[in-house]
Amino acid sequence: MPRFALAFSVLALTVAAPLAQEAAPAPATTPTITVDPSAVVDAMPKQGQLLTGLYATQATIELCNITVAEPGVTAMNAHRRQLETDFHLEGESAVKAYETVKADVEKAGVDCAEGSADRQQTDAVIAVYSGT
pLDDT of the residue at 112: 92
- pTM (two decimals): 0.65
pLDDT in tens, 10-20: 444 555 455 55
pLDDT in tens, 32-50: 666 666 655 555 677 778 8
pLDDT in tens, 54-107: 999 999 999 999 999 999 999 999 999 999 998 898 899 999 999 999 999 999
Distance between CA atoms of 48 and 128, rounded to whole angstroms?
Answer: 19
User: In sequence order, what are the residues at sequence separation of 6 or more whose Cβ sits closer than 8 angstroms to the Cβ of residue 53?
Assistant: 125
Distance between CA atoms of 17 and 93, rounded to whole angstroms?
Answer: 53
- CB neighbour class for 84 (10 Å; exposed up to 12, middle 13-18, buried from 19): buried
Tell me how far apart the 2 most distant CA atoms of the chain are, in Å.
83
Of residues 30 and 40, which shows the higher confidence score?
30
